[in-house]
Amino acid sequence: MLLFTSLIVLFGVVRTDEPLRPQYHLMPVKNWLNDPNGPVYFNGYYHMFFQYNPNAAVWGDMHWAHSYSKDMVHWIHLPIALAPDQPYDTNGIFTGSITIVDGIPIIIYTGITHDNQQVQCQAQPANISDPTLTTW
């Protein structure tokens, strides 16, 4: 792992002009990244979901962001995977995981209701034939 990390830094696989921004760590283009959730390998791609506030660089307004990669070094950011837009998760989408059931990735996550009750929720891809699992 140390050799791999050294090669990434040495050859500049990932570059940034921001001196305090990590050079090879998956992070969103902007705003708050929280817990990684639901890493999964599916149909030739690594997928990483993480708690994310798309509206500010502070904790709150929790969504799940989604990125995917062929090599776990070069990541492509996709649109928000899960947004708090249902009665069972209106106050946020929190910790969860992914499992594959009968060939279908299933997200299990904690939703927070309008009266701050924690409930277990499930999501699955809108189009299972989409290898990037863009829409949930």
Q: Active-site positions?
A: 35
Give the H or E element holding residue 6.
Answer: helix 2-11
What is the SS3 assignment for 101?
strand
Closest CA to 39 of 98, 116, 81: 98
Cβ proximity of 8 and 23 under 8 Å? yes
Cβ proximity of 96 and 40 under 8 Å? no
